[in-house]
Amino acid sequence: MTSNKQLNLFIAYLNNEKRYSEHTINAYQRDILQYTDWLETQHQLSFNDSRPLHIRQYSAYQHRQGLSGKSLQRKLSSLRSYFTYLLKNNLILNNPALDIRPPKGAKKLPDTLDFELIQRLLKLPEDSPIAIRDKAIMELLYSSGLRLAELAGLNTDDLLSDNTVEVIGKGNKSRKVPVGSKAQIALQQWLAIRSDSTPITEMALFTSNRGTRLSIRSIQQRLIYWQKKLGIEQHIHPHKFRHSFASHLLESSGDLRAVQELLGHADISTTQVYTHLDFQHLAKVYDQTHPRATKKKPKC
């Protein structure tokens, strides 16, 4: 069987049996043809002659061309699927891409807000009921590092008398998080007027002007509103408050385990990304202050 006929049968299989979309099928075909061209050019081999070494070399080559880890994983998935198909049809003896993993790309660091910008956001220029509510939302996001869904799901009785808030996080796991004094004041101000627009039967902590629970989308839109109103260029979304909470707390305390508990991370490796942010800050301070790091202007 020729390689073209072989590939055409695989494409027909993806279309008729797997019911993949045209976009996905085109991506598979493009990935397979790109690898085939590379293999023929570099090693003068056909697709069916591939070995694990060739897959690794090709993956490394694509990585050097600037492809992200996600793109490399997709390309490997295409090759792996094709090899699996060939193996099932007795056209090859093994799947050389089965255990190949793409090179890891640089891990993207969380985007945070600096403290001066947060202070600007928390000094809202209005005292309308909506502004009071929105300030309480932002204060609580930054004070306690809550996820957006956690905040949107809060009820009034989740605010506990010991100045903590009980939230239901990922995996339906409950945790208690401290509420800072500034957030406590903002919440008290909101609770004092909340009943003016909210029926007594509504348990949600944050409600709309119609008296219903404020949705996740509405919270996102309110932050964008204040970003634009205050003339802030940096995009503001709820998770940036969580990232800033974690980064600023770690920067001050250095206690990774405590930050892990407060964020509700099951695995400390998830929290460790904030140590990179902290190191960036320390490196900046070092460059600006250490006498052997600062560059002195040459004397004329």
123 catalytic per annotation = no
265 catalytic per annotation = yes
- The angle, 0 to 180 degrees and rounded to 10, between the axes of the packed helices 256-263 and 238-253 is 160
170 catalytic per annotation = yes
Set 28, 35, 82, 274: catalytic member: 274
Set 74, 80, 120, 239: catalytic member: 239
242 catalytic per annotation = yes
Set 133, 213, 222, 242: catalytic member: 242
Tell how far CA 150 is from the center of its chain.
16
3-state secondary structure of 138: helix
Instruction: Report d(CA 212, CA 194) in Å as an integer.
Output: 11
C-alpha torsion 235→237→243→248, nearest 10? 70
Please report where in the chains the tokens 């903590």 appear, as a residue: 164
Set 170, 235, 276, 284: catalytic member: 170
Set 147, 175, 176, 237: catalytic member: 147
18 catalytic per annotation = no
Straight-line distance from the first to the last Cα atom of the chain, in angstroms, rounded to the nearest whole number: 78
Helix (H) or strand (E) holding 178: strand 174-178
210 catalytic per annotation = no
Write phi, then psi, for 207 (nearest 5 degrees): -125, 160
Active site members: 147, 170, 239, 242, 265, 274
